[in-house]
Amino acid sequence: MKNKVLIPRYILKVLRKAGLLAAAFLAICCDNFVEVAQPNSQLTGTAVFENKTTATAAMKDIYSKIRDMGLLTGKSLGISALLGVYSDELVSYETGTFSSEPFYNNALTASNGSVQEIWARTYNQVYAANAVIEGVTASNGISESDKEQLIGEALFVRALLHSYMAGVFGPCPYITTTDYRQNSLVSRLPMQDVYLNCIADLEQAITLLPQEYISVDRVRPNRFAAYALLARVSLYAGLWPEAANAASAVINETAVYPWEPNIDNVFLRESSVTVWQLAAGGGYVNTQEGATFIFNAGPPPVVALRPE
């Protein structure tokens, strides 16, 4: 028969309480361990949209990302260069799978990194535009006029990006929320439906954006920029009268867009016929396209026009 060790009841009570205290202590420690404080250099999503300055900075950040990465960048991995070599307007002088070479040699695969980069980066920009729309709409610290300006710009950007995605990829999702649960269920829409969604966004943007430009060099869109994009999208959608009406709204505004007879002045930063443009990124170039297509010695570093 084994010997039994008898522990008095009061000692058991003490041990039981000590165990509960230890468990509570561990729970608190674990909870504190996994809760990471917000970095001092960053704002939460809610705080960003509590005043005009930070909300405007969020919108400007979208423009800088459009300029520097994704579908519309003027760098060699944007569609200006890639579709140029893909359609044989340009010759590619690059080598490597993550360059314009596969486009030039008609060797694209479903896993091509450049294509995946364009898709992911562009929808990231769409997500950011949706965040501006949702954040500004819910804000209590921004005036109604500033809300209209920012929401109008974000709607313009959302329509712009989706219209190009449809032009390049054909049927594609039209993302209108930051809710990951809804976005996980989206599917490709027919191109006509994508264009109709773009038109709806632009028609709303037209009601929100002012006629006047609020920025130097016309780098933030006004009402006529939305009309100009509406004309293009309506044309792609086969809505001929609507396209003509939207284009006329811009063409007839001769006080804002006086005719420029000298073609050398048309694409300058201060051109009088500019409807909307992206701000220069600083440094030694005004546009990424300039750095991509202009070269001073051969062979060309990236791409060049075909001799024909």
pLDDT beyond 90 at 98: no
Q: What pLDDT is stored for residue 41 in this prediction? A: 44
Domains assigned to the chain: 12-305 (1.25.40.390)
Q: Is the pLDDT of residue 13 over 80?
A: no
Tell me which of 6-15, 222-231, 240-249, 263-272 is least confident.
6-15
> pLDDT tens-digit profile of 117-159?
999 999 999 999 999 999 999 999 999 999 999 999 999 999 9
pLDDT digits (tens, 9 = 90+) for 248-263: 999 999 999 999 999 9
What predicted TM-score, i.e. pTM, was given to this entire model? 0.85
Q: Which of 14-18, 48-52, 135-139 has the lowest mean pLDDT?
A: 14-18
Q: DSSP secondary structure string, the chain?
A: --------HHHHHHHHHHHHHHHHHHHHHHHHHH-PPPPTT---HHHHTTSHHHHHHHHHHHHHHHHHSSTT-SSTTSHHHHHHHHTTSEEE---STTSSHHHHTT---TT-HHHHHHHHHHHHHHHHHHHHHHHHHH-SSS-HHHHHHHHHHHHHHHHHHHHHHHHHHSSB-------HHHHTT--PBPHHHHHHHHHHHHHHHHHHS-SS--SGGG-S--HHHHHHHHHHHHHHTT-HHHHHHHHHHHHT-TTTS-----HHHHTSTT-TT----PPP-STT-S-HHHHHH--SSSS-SSEEE---
